[in-house]
Amino acid sequence: MGWVAQALEKVRKRKPLVQNITNFVVMNTTANALLAIGASPVMAHAREELEDMLRIADSLVINIGTLDEHWIASMEKAVKIASELKKPTVLDPVGAGATKLRTETALKLLDMGSVTILRGNFGEIASLLGEHGKTRGVDSAAYEKDRAKELAFIAAKEFNTVVAVTGPVDYVSDGEEVYAVYNGHEMLGRVTGTGCMVTAITGAFAAVEEPLKAAVSALVVFGIAAEKAYEEAKYPGSFHVKLYDWLYRIDGELINKMGRVRKVEP
């Protein structure tokens, strides 16, 4: 787990500026998560300022949770600019499979060939691979452990990017290797925006580490923070507050003690 601890140290030393085009529901939540972990958030959606903002940003996070035609245009332009500037881009295809608009928007962004990391739940990634009808609202479809591992591997090859499929066990693949992350807690499902939080944090790690390690590191750190938060707070409201506290408090010693990740066969 040494490299996960090192990745966190890099985030805190560099304090990367993470440009977010995200959704109304989670703006405050994800901004606070980035600040707690040691990064710097910026939430900027206007097309007119994207180039200026991305020039100073260290990474880009796209979250399609609340779409409209103006935000879609901004997302497409941002991905294009980030590619030109060689800035890592993380995509969260929130609710892909629930509506045609969400699925098509996510696929178009992926087809642009510039997404560094794709982070979604089981139903979202399955839908993007053509298994439609498995997503209800923005909640995950029925999770299947072996299938989740396979989805991460296949999607990574299909979209030529690192893919993280999150659930009871998280699987991360670059199309060659697959890592399983066993950290986390079911209380994360009782608080809105926790998936969006880990996507934003992935953007911070992507700014300082290569994509596969960045995705794994973000999931391990977030999962441990959730476990520690639940030790102190057994209910959703207080758990949410403690989650920020532990994103701030987590360190290399705790990561090395509690981190549960291993490389698995594809």
Residues in binding site: 43, 119, 166, 193
H or E element at residue 72: helix 69-84
Residue list for the binding site for ATP = 119, 166
Whether pTM exceeds 0.85: yes
pLDDT at residue number 8? 98
Q: How many CB atoms lie within 10 A of CB 169?
A: 17
- Report pLDDT for 142: 65
pLDDT of residue 193: 94
Residue ranges per structural domain of the chain: 2-264
Instruction: Provide the 10 A C-beta neighbour count for residue 132.
Output: 14
pLDDT of residue 160: 95
| Residues in the chain where the model's pLDDT stays below 50 | 132-138
Q: How far apart are CA 81 and CA 44, in angstroms?
A: 14
| Per-residue pLDDT, 113 | 80
CATH superfamily placement of domain 2-264: Ribokinase (3.40.1190.20)
Q: Which helix (H) or strand (E) holds 93?
A: none
pLDDT of residue 141: 57
Q: What pLDDT, on the 0 to 100 scale, is given for residue 136?
A: 47
Instruction: Output the known binding site for substrate.
Output: 43, 193
Under DSSP, is residue 12 helix (H, G, I), strand (E, B) or coil? helix
How far is Cα 181 from Cα 142, in angstroms, rounded to an integer?
19
Q: How far is CA 74 from the centre of its chain?
A: 19
